Amino acid sequence: MSDGVIIRKPRHIGHKIALACAALCAALMVPALVAFVWFWLTRGTADTWTPSLAAVVAFFGCCAGVLYATSVPQPLLPKEEAGAVDPEKH
């Protein structure tokens, strides 16, 4: 582990589902972003749809980020040394 490479466990089904949902949220963010820019340029910020679409874009972006972070498997723990823990000293 001295070379900086992190060895991770393989993704199980929960991680794969979270990764698929992160991709879905990222894909849904694109049309919401396009709609937000279109409403912003045509109607301005005074219209109620513009900040609502900004909130939708922020929600999908944060959702994608959190789900991606959830989908990353944990790193493997280093193996314990045989003499590192003495059960009689507790």
Per-residue pLDDT tens over the stretch 2-47: 567 777 778 889 989 999 999 999 999 999 999 999 999 999 999 9
**Residue 79: inside a domain:** no
**Residue 17: inside a domain:** yes
CA atoms within 13 A on the CB side of 71: 15
**Residue 86: inside a domain:** no
Q: Is the pTM of this model over 0.85?
A: no
Domain enclosing residue 42, as ranges = 13-74
**Residue 30: inside a domain:** yes
Mean pLDDT of 74-80: 77
Give the per-residue pLDDT at 26.
Answer: 97
Backbone phi and psi for residue 79, each to the nearest 5 degrees, phi listed first: -70, 140
**Domain total of the chain:** 1
**Residue 50: inside a domain:** yes
**Residue 4: inside a domain:** no
**Alpha helices per DSSP H over the chain:** 13-42, 49-71
**Residue 22: inside a domain:** yes
**Residue 82: inside a domain:** no
Pick the more confident residue, 66 or 77: 66
